[in-house]
C-alpha cells in the first residue's frame, strides 16, 4: 500500500508541471489576442478576400437556376420532337407493311394469270374493230391500274404511247399479263423505297430519343446542382459563405439542343 501511494505522489509534481505549461500557453495566446487584436481582424480580411462575397454567391445561384430552366425547356421540346419522330417511324413502318402486302397480292395475281395464260387463247377475228377494242382495253386497264397506284406515271405514259413492251395488238389476256408484271415491278420498287424511308425514320427517331434522354438527365442534374459549401470553418460572428459549384458547359447544352432541332 505504501509502495503504490509513494509512486502516485512521485507522479503528481510531473503532472502539475505539464498542466502549468499548457495553462501558460493558453494564457500567452489570450494575452496576444488582447494586446494585438489587429491580428484577428487581419485573419478575417484574408478570409473574406479568399471566399466570394454573398452577392457573387447569389448571382451564381441565379445563373444556375436560369440554366436549369433553359435545360428543362429544351428537354421538354426534345421530348416532343422524339415523340413526333417516333410517330413518323411508326407510320413509315405501316407503309412498309402495306407495300409488302401489295407486292404479295400482285405476285399472287401474276401467278394465277401465268397459269391461265398457259391455256390456249380463244381465237378472235383480226379486224380493225378488234384491234381498236384491244387498244381501248389496254388504255382503260392501264389507267385503272395507275389510279390504284399499281403503275407509275412513266409506265402509264408508255402504255398509252405503246412503247417499252406495250403492244395494243396483243390479246387482252396477254395485255393483262404484261400489265400484272409491270404492276409487280412498280409495287416492289415502292416497297424498297418505303423500306429506305422506314430505316431513315428509325435512325432519326433513335437520335431524337437519345437527345431527349440526355437533356432530361441534364435537366435533373441542373435542378439538383447548387453551389458547394466551403469546408473552411467560419470565424466567430460571420456566416459561412458558399463557393460556386461546377457549372455545366453551355456549349454542350446548345449542341444537344441543336441536335434535337
Q: First-to-last CA distance in the chain?
A: 92
Could you tell me the pLDDT band of residue 247, with boundaries at 50, 70 and 90?
A: very low
Query: Mean pLDDT across the chain, nearest whole number?
Result: 75
Task: Say if residue 56 is exposed, middle or buried (CB neighbours under 10 Å; 0-12, 13-18, 19+).
Answer: middle
The mean pLDDT value for 164-173 works out to 87
E strand residue ranges, 66-189: none
The mean pLDDT value for 181-190 works out to 93
Q: Helices 172-224 and 128-147 meet at what angle, rounded to 10? A: 10
Residue 253 contacts residue 208 (beta carbons within 8 Å): no
The mean pLDDT value for 94-110 works out to 92
Amino acid at each position: 500500500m505504501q509502495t503504490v501511494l509513494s509512486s502516485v505522489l512521485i507522479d503528481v509534481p510531473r503532472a502539475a508541471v505539464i498542466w502549468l505549461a499548457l495553462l501558460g500557453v493558453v494564457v500567452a495566446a489570450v494575452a496576444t489576442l488582447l494586446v494585438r487584436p489587429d491580428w484577428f481582424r487581419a485573419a478575417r480580411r484574408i478570409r473574406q478576400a479568399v471566399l466570394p462575397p454573398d452577392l457573387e454567391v447569389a448571382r451564381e445561384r441565379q445563373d444556375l437556376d436560369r440554366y436549369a430552366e433553359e435545360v428543362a425547356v429544351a428537354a421538354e421540346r426534345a421530348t416532343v420532337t422524339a415523340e413526333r419522330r417516333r410517330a413518323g417511324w411508326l407510320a413509315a413502318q405501316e407503309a412498309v407493311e402495306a407495300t409488302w402486302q401489295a407486292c404479295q397480292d400482285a405476285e399472287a395475281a401474276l401467278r394465277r394469270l401465268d397459269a391461265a395464260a398457259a391455256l390456249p387463247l380463244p381465237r378472235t377475228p383480226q379486224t380493225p374493230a378488234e384491234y381498236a377494242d384491244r387498244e381501248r382495253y389496254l388504255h382503260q386497264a392501264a389507267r385503272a391500274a395507275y389510279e390504284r397506284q399499281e403503275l407509275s406515271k412513266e409506265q402509264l405514259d408508255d402504255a398509252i404511247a405503246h412503247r417499252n413492251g406495250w403492244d395494243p395488238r396483243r390479246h387482252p389476256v396477254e395485255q393483262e399479263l404484261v400489265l400484272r408484271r409491270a404492276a409487280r415491278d412498280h409495287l416492289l420498287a415502292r416497297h424498297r423505297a418505303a423500306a429506305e424511308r422506314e430505316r431513315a425514320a428509325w435512325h432519326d427517331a433513335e437520335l431524337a430519343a437519345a437527345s431527349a434522354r440526355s437533356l432530361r438527365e441534364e435537366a435533373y442534374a441542373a435542378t439538383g446542382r447548387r453551389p458547394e459549401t466551403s469546408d473552411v470553418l467560419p470565424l466567430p460572428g460571420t456566416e459561412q459563405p458558399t463557393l460556386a459549384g461546377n457549372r455545366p458547359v453551355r456549349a454542350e447544352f446548345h449542341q444537344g439542343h441543336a441536335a434535337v432541332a
